[in-house]
Amino acid sequence: MSAQFFSKLSQNYIEILEDNEYYDITIEVGEDPDVKIFRAHMNILCYRSPYLRQTLASNKKNNDSVLSHTKLPNILPEIFQIVLRYIYGGILSLDMQDTSDFLKVLVAADELLLHEL
């Protein structure tokens, strides 16, 4: 017998994203004055995004427990929040009335090499 529990797994990964305790990377997204710092997990980002894998490979965590930090100035913080929830939980939540957000998500997905998105 085989059972699939993807909705619970997806929810657990979203909970990991929202947990402020065990993150190992910060990502500075946007440009002044609209900049936001996101906390994330290098392993998840590297396996979900070839672009982030390449970027983070050169910016690995030091042995002295200093967090890795990277910047994504070309993506708006509110768009990255949507993309990050997709990376973690496979959930894409968009207001379909606003086609500009949809296009911005596609541009961000292209930059991060999220081919399935």
CATH assignment at residue 41? 3.30.710.10
Within-domain flag for 52: yes
Within-domain flag for 2: no
pLDDT in tens, the chain (117 residues): 545 678 889 999 999 999 988 999 999 999 999 999 999 999 999 999 999 999 988 776 554 556 889 999 999 999 999 999 999 999 888 776 677 888 999 999 999 999 988
Within-domain flag for 1: no
Q: How many domains does the chain have?
A: 1
Within-domain flag for 117: no
Q: Cα separation of 24 and 79, whole Å?
A: 21
Q: How far is CA 67 from CA 21, 41, 60, 73, 81, in A?
A: 12, 10, 9, 19, 20
Within-domain flag for 77: yes
Query: What does pTM read for this prediction?
Result: 0.86
Q: How far is CA 1 from CA 4, 9, in A?
A: 10, 19
Within-domain flag for 82: yes
Within-domain flag for 96: yes
User: 36: how many CB neighbours lie within 10 A of its CB?
Assistant: 13
Domain carrying residue 41: 7-112
